[in-house]
């Protein structure tokens, strides 16, 4: 091992972050070691804590530190509505509109055959069980309006149809090709109202 | 603390990385927790190891895990030449040319009055001590050809002149406004040969 083995290992580890190449990783490592060792230790502990404590909610599959997440424990919501989103960030975008008061199912991903992500990986079977619990009346498909998000909505919609469960899709007020977390609140609220 | 407190803390900690905003940090946290917990633990350990083990070489100020770095311990180099660079990445770029066989002094930064970085922060005093040790005959100023790099070379050059120590600057074959670590090896090699 060279006299900078731990530094080299840090640069390699930083490259595990999405969108970070070798140049960015080197700059990040240099910045932390030269100017912000406190930040390095803080990030080290935060990674370990989150990695060991964060699990998936048994009801909606989103991230939580408990067995059931706060949203699923919120009894003030309309149990007849179940909104399907790709990620916690998408759920947060819907929550910020204040236009939806039901529960969620978070796929934690999207169908992506090229990346080997199939229905099992996004928990379609558990979603169907949840949707057929006798309480849910309407499933709102709020996956992103990207090619993969549309394909995901299509596959889930067909499965729901076979089970005879009503579902809607966010209205196409959401601009085609965009991702929910970047859409302005008003557009999302309109798309919710116009769901079909 | 909410049921995702450790997740929120991770997003905040990731923002300590240079160039990472809240959206990037959220995506990084989601990716690590959903797809790469092994990467999260690896990065956690790498940060702690590097932060606790990496120190500055007593002779040239670069990062090393020892008291003196491997380059400074290399007795096959020409002790009459001392090359001043801003960062270890710049030093690595010079080494890759194979055109320089002397020693280095790594400023670990550059003068930047706007950021409050003065001569003391980049160790100009220690550089002068090293340059006046009676062995060094020529100091090669290889700071970047940016405004801050030029200002740094100017300030160090004036200090060396007052001490009567000879110095050169990399030839302007290096394109103005660029940073060494991104310049092709041939250009750097020519700039070394044409130093004035
Ligand atoms: Zn939940
Ligand atoms: Zn050294």
In the structure encoding, which two tokens stand for residue A93, read together? 């975008």
The residue count of chain A comes to 196
Place of tokens 């009801």: A59
* pLDDT higher than 60, residue B23: yes
Q: How are strands ordered across the β-sheet holding B167-169?
A: B102-106, B78-85, B138-141, B167-169
Q: What is the pLDDT of residues B47-79, one digit of tens each?
A: 999 999 999 999 999 999 999 999 999 999 999
Kind of pairing between the strands at A55-56 and A63-64: antiparallel
What count of other Cβ atoms lies within 10 Å of the Cβ of residue B117? Answer: 17
β-pairing, A55-56 with A78-85?
unpaired
Smallest CA–CA separation between A182 and chain B, in Å?
A: 10
The β-bridge partners of A168 are: A140
Average pLDDT, chain B: 91
Phi, psi of B52 (to 5 degrees): -90, -20
Q: pLDDT > 70: what percent of chain A? A: 97
Residue in chain B nearest A36 by alpha carbon: B16
Here the tokens at position A153 are: 């909505």
- Give the nearest chain A residue to B88 (CA atoms): A30
CA angle A63-A69-A74, nearest 5°?
A: 145
Residues B65, A52, A36: CA angle, nearest 5 degrees: 35
Query: Nearest-CA residue of chain B relative to A16?
Result: B39
Query: For residue range B31-44, what is the model confidence (pLDDT) as tens digits?
Result: 999 999 999 999 99
Q: How far is the CA of B23 from the centre of ligand 1 (A)?
A: 22
Tell me the pLDDT tens digit for each residue of A53-95.
999 999 999 999 999 999 999 999 999 999 999 999 999 999 9
Q: What is the mean predicted confidence (pLDDT) over A27-51?
A: 97
Contacts of B181 in chain A (CB under 8 A): 23
In the numeric block, which tokens belong to residue B160?
């060396």
CA atoms within 13 A on the CB side of B83: 24
* Residues, CB-to-ion distance under 5 Å, ligand 1: A 57, 59-60, 69, 72
Contact yes or no for A136/A77 (Cβ under 8 A): no
- CA-closest candidate to residue B103, choices B67, B62, B65, B144: B62
Give, in order, the Cα–Cα distances in Å from A12 to each of A192, B8, B122.
Answer: 43, 25, 27
Helix, strand, or coil (residue A121): coil
For residue B87, give how far its alpha carbon lies from the nearest alpha carbon of chain A (Å): 9
Measure CB to CB from residue A46 to each of B9, B19, B39 and give the nearest one.
Answer: B9
Which residue in the set A3, A70, A109 is minimally distant from B3, CB to CB? A70
What distance in Å separates residue B45's CA from the closest CA in chain A?
7
Q: How far is the CA of A56 from the centre of ligand 1 (A)?
A: 8
Residues on chain B touching A10 (C-beta within 8 angstroms): 46-47, 49-50
What's the mean pLDDT in B163-173? 86
Determine the average pLDDT of the residues in A9-36.
96
At which residue do the structure tokens 């700039």 appear? B191
* Interchain CB distance below 8 Å, B32 and A16: yes
Q: List own/partner pairs for A57-61 with CB under 8 A and 24 or more apart.
A: A57/A106, A59/A103, A59/A130, A60/A103, A60/A104, A60/A105, A60/A106, A61/A105, A61/A106, A61/A107, A61/A108, A61/A123, A61/A126
Q: Taking 50 as the threshold, does the pLDDT of residue A38 lie above it?
A: yes
pTM: 0.83
Ligand 1 centroid distance, CA of A194 (Å) = 26
User: Which tens digits make up the pLDDT trace of B96-144?
Assistant: 888 899 999 999 999 998 888 999 889 999 999 999 999 999 999 999 9
Q: What pLDDT sits at residue B147? A: 87
B112 alpha carbon to ligand 2 midpoint, in Å? 24
């Amino acid at each position: 091992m060279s006299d900078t083995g731990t530094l080299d290992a840090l640069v390699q580890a930083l490259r595990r972050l999405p969108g970070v190449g070798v140049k960015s990783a080197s700059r990040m490592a240099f910045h932390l070691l030269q100017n912000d060792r406190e930040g390095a230790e803080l990030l080290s502990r935060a990674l370990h804590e989150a990695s060991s404590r964060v699990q998936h909610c048994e009801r909606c599959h989103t991230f939580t530190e408990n067995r059931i997440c706060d949203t699923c424990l919120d009894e003030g919501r309309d149990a007849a509505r179940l909104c399907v989103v790709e990620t916690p960030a998408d759920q947060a975008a819907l929550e910020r509109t204040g236009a939806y008061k039901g529960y969620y199912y978070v796929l934690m991903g999207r169908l992506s055959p090229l990346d080997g992500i199939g229905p099992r990986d996004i928990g379609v079977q558990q979603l169907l069980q949840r949707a057929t619990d006798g309480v849910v009346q309407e499933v709102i498909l709020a996956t992103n309006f990207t090619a993969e998000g549309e394909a995901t909505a299509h596959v889930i919609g067909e499965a729901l149809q076979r089970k005879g469960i009503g579902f809607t899709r966010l209205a196409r007020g959401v601009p085609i090709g965009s991702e929910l977390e970047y859409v302005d609140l008003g557009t999302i609220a309109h798309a919710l109202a116009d769901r079909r």
